[in-house]
Amino acid sequence: MKSNPLAIKTLAFFLIWLLLSESFDWLHVSMGVLCAFGVAWFNRSREQTRFEIPRARIVWYYFWLVGRILQSGFHLSKLILHPSLPIDPRMIRQRTKLRKDAGIVLLGNSITLTPGTITVEVNSDELEVHAMDAESAEDVTSFRFDEQIARVTSSKETA
């Protein structure tokens, strides 16, 4: 039997609907079926993207990232509220040693998510980062993120 992606998607969306709506009368359930099918049909031509299941270490990485975000967030708040506004913005160009697309996406997103640094441009393995001051820039130039992500994505990568 050939698997039908439309049916599988509809079923998955419908299960999510049931979990979140908590109401099982015929009106809500039938609306759920309609919506699930509508969304699945709308996305029928979207190509299936293969994605690797990340290593369990990624959970630890997210906790580490929240810690970094808190630390840089307090630093940025201090800069903004300081009466003399002691900012010193700069652009940094940096090559990353990460090779996989997933790793580079995770790196760019993590840098942007951390207050005080924003990824401006990514050219295959070179990142252009805008940083608020020297201390924010140090987050990126120290390759802190690269090291952590290299441990998450693959054991073969070196950082």
Partner 1 sequence: MTLIEWVELYVMSPIAIASIVVGLFFLFVAAVGVLRLPDVYTRSHAVSLTDSLGAFFVLGGLALYEGLSTNAVKILIVLILLYLLNPVIAHATVRSAHRSGLKPWSREDA
- Shorter beta-carbon distance to partner 1: residue 8 or 80: 80
Structure tokens at 150: 């290299």
We find the least distance from the C-beta atom of residue 72 to partner 1, in angstroms, to be 9
Residue where the block lists tokens 């599988």: 8
Examine residue 29 and tell whether it contacts partner 1 (CB under 8 A).
no
Closest by Cα among 115, 134, 111, 135 to 72: 115
Closest by Cα among 91, 90, 135, 127 to 111: 127
Examine residue 67 and tell whether it contacts partner 1 (CB under 8 A).
no
Examine residue 69 and tell whether it contacts partner 1 (CB under 8 A).
yes
DSSP per-residue string spanning 121-133:
EEETTEEEEEESS
Examine residue 112 and tell whether it contacts partner 1 (CB under 8 A).
yes
By CB under 8 A, how many residues form the interface with partner 1? 33
Closest by Cα among 34, 6, 5, 9 to 21: 34
Examine residue 18 and tell whether it contacts partner 1 (CB under 8 A).
no
Q: Per DSSP, what are the bridge partners of residue 85?
A: none
Which of residues 91, 95, 125, 138 is near partner 1 by CB under 8 A?
91
Binding-site ranges for partner 1 (CB under 8 A): 19-20, 22, 66, 69-70, 73, 76-77, 80-81, 85, 87-91, 108-110, 112-121, 128, 130, 132
